[in-house]
Structure 1
Amino acid sequence: MNKSMLMSRRAFSVLLAGSAASLISRRGMAAMGAATKARNVVLVHGLFADGSCWTEVIARLQAAGLNATAVQNPLTTLPEAVDSAQRVLARQDGPTVLVGHSFSGMIVTEAGVHPNVSALVYVAARAPDAGEDYTALAKTYPTPPATAGIVFDGDEGRLSEEAFLRDFAGDLPEAKAKVLYAVQEPFQKALLTGKTTQAAWRSRPSYYAVSTEDRTINPDLQRFMAKRMEARTIEVKASHLALISHPDEIAGLIAEAAGGAR
């Protein structure tokens, strides 16, 4: 079998366990061939969460020999959130996969141009273009149910318990979802007004995990963003919290971005 046949076979094979379906674009195939191997992974959480939401994924990455660090996103303003990620990226000792869930796709898109970043992974995440109004983009798709569950105390926002359990963590055991609800980190309204000035996915190999049962970010919007960036894409039958309900698939995609499934 010649080299081109081997590449084609590898590009279209299902590399991850479970129900994940592989969708690979031309740019995604090229990126996989050119990606720099990495031993470091930096993970960024989104709204209604903190860094501990990556616990299940981190355990699997560590078992695979990868050095994983979770950023504690301040959820204040986009520039401050990007700075928090860049400080962690600067501490890495070589090529690093930058991973973002949900809102933190904004952070990955902006901070991903850092010289230590070798690849990007989006987990049911926002993936705007440079200067794009993400809110306007999202409005071109049906509004997901979780949006109605956001409540504010002045400038501080969080999800109601009902929305958290049903629309954010819908495929988790209720007892576990209630614990996550209890520790959710509130966000500031100012965070939602930020726009990215760069689109790192235009210059870095990119990977995307679509949550097909997502009630927080419309799955079709996720598919659009993944296709637009020509990312190596998997689909996971999961709620918005695929990183908790399907950690094997998410860790597998991250490991692939780091230089091959381990």
Structure 2
Amino acid sequence: MTMNRREFSAALIVGAAASFVSTRGLAAIAAPEKARNIVLVHGLFADGSCWSEVIARLQAAGLNVTAVQNPLTTLPDAVASALTVLERQEGPTVLVGHSFSGMIVTEAGVHPKVSALVYVAARAPDAGEDYTAMARKYATPPASAGIVFDGDQGRLTEEAFLRDFAGDIPEAKARVLYAVQEPFHKALLTGKTTQAAWRSKPSFYAVSTEDRTINPDLERFMARRMGAKTIEVKASHLSLISHPDEISQLILEAAGQRG
């Protein structure tokens, strides 16, 4: 059977698409390289201390752990901070992001030292994708209404922080976390990733099923799209604090230390 030029071109396109899907799937399910280094990045309404519970567990497992202090100014600034820490690592490194810092993981994760990516209730855009437009396809999470601005700096009100950001954390502990909340700059939210590391690196995702900061169905969509090994945790947006065992185990799996 012969094909005309249009049919031949269409066949090439279909074949290329099938090859892309196959390659993406293989990248997602490939066994991650064994890593001793873990780099953690925090998102909005937080600082590096939000990883304290996870850090202690990973250190007890013998891993070298560093938490990046995200400047929350612009996406390029935030990526640069993560890259500076990645450059200091010796050998394969798992890059982990919570919430907004999934943008950083997606961009900085192409660094050659990064062996695997872990997203914890995190944004996971494609290269050049408008995350805000994608998020609008899902019901707006309640925390969005609790963001207030002082000039160019945004933060969560205490009520929204306790109810919608840290809803499954004891109130006394949540108030301590609220006290160290770092304000973010409006310019941070305008940045778009130029690369999508999850297209070439083994990826893992922890969905927070009770999340009131990012819609859980959006989290599921992003995890499914990247072909990530996915777990679901009955937790608020701060699963890394309320469920540190589950999050630590997922990171250990990404580091080739279990599973």
Q: Where do residues 1-262 of structure 1 align in structure 2 (5 Å cutoff)? A: 31-261=28-258
SS at match of 2:231: strand
Change (3 A) 1:143 1:30: same
Q: In the TM superposition, what whole-angstrom CA distance separates every residue of 1:165-199 from its partner, at most 9, and x where no partner exists?
A: 00000000000000100110000000000000000
Q: CA deviation at 1:27?
A: 5.9
Distance 1:35 1:48 in 2: 31
SS at match of 2:38: strand
SS at match of 2:67: strand
Q: CA deviation at 1:34?
A: 3.4
Gaps of 5+ in 2: 1-22
Q: CA deviation at 1:32?
A: 4.7
Alignment: residue pair count: 238
| Structure 1 residue ranges (4+ consecutive) displaced by more than 3 angstroms after TM superposition | 26-34
Distance 2:145 2:253 in 1: 36
Query: Is the 2:24–2:199 contact (alpha carbons within 8 Å) kept by the matching residues of 1?
Result: no
Q: CA deviation at 1:35?
A: 1.7
Distance 1:243 1:261 in 2: 19
Q: Percent identity?
A: 84
Higher gyration radius (CA): 2
SS at match of 1:34: coil
Gaps of 5+ in 1: 1-25
Letter matched to residue 99 of structure 1: V
Query: Is the 1:28–1:206 contact (alpha carbons within 8 Å) kept by the matching residues of 2?
Result: no
Query: Is the 1:28–1:232 contact (alpha carbons within 8 Å) kept by the matching residues of 2?
Result: no
Distance 2:255 2:25 in 1: 14
Q: CA RMSD in A?
A: 1.5
Q: In the TM superposition, what whole-angstrom CA distance separates every residue of 1:86-134 from its partner, at most 9, and x where no partner exists?
A: 0000000000000000000000000000010000000000000000000
Matching residue of 2:14: none
